[in-house]
Structure 1
């Protein structure tokens, strides 16, 4: 069975010039910069429709929610666009 989320991550990466890899662990998808292997973002499916909870690699050297009030939960395509355009995800790259 093909993984729809993985396919959409790959398609978004290709459409935006490439350079981002991902791996899946414990039900979440972890994006990283291929060149340096620096962490970029964590996408954790919520189980409701195509929504994911966003996480970023913090200065504490751990994954944290984007928002302190329960995290940001948005559709996958919106999440990928958000990651591409928000500096917090690219701090450690």
Structure 2
């Protein structure tokens, strides 16, 4: 999957769900943040396997961390965006 495709799909998901989230690419990962406050929401790092991405959340330690204790969550991009939208751990510091 092309990286431009990932950015376009993130933007389309945000637009379809009311907007308010921005994204940028840094060090091979896509960072999602709240537009109003610039608070970090999630980090999506492509795994190189189809459209799967590894998910990270912004923790109280002020760094990206795995969603679980077993090495993180890897999901197809659309499922990952839906997961982020519905899981409170991503929205704690926003």
Q: TM class by shorter-chain length?
A: over 0.9
Report the counterpart of residue 33 of structure 1 in structure 2.
Answer: 34
Q: Is 1:10 the equivalent of 2:11?
A: yes
Report the counterpart of residue 65 of structure 2 in structure 1.
Answer: 64
CA distance in 2, matches of 1:71, 1:44: 11
Measured on the aligned residues, the alpha-carbon RMSD in Å equals 1.1
Report the counterpart of residue 87 of structure 2 in structure 1.
Answer: 86
- Structure 1 residue runs of 5 or longer lacking an equivalent are none
Q: Is 1:22 the equivalent of 2:28?
A: no
Deviations 1:66-85 (CA, angstroms, capped at 9, x unpaired): 01111100100000000000
Count of paired positions: 93
Q: TM-score, structure 2 length as denominator? A: 0.96
CA distance in 2, matches of 1:42, 1:55: 5
CA distance in 1, matches of 2:35, 2:52: 25
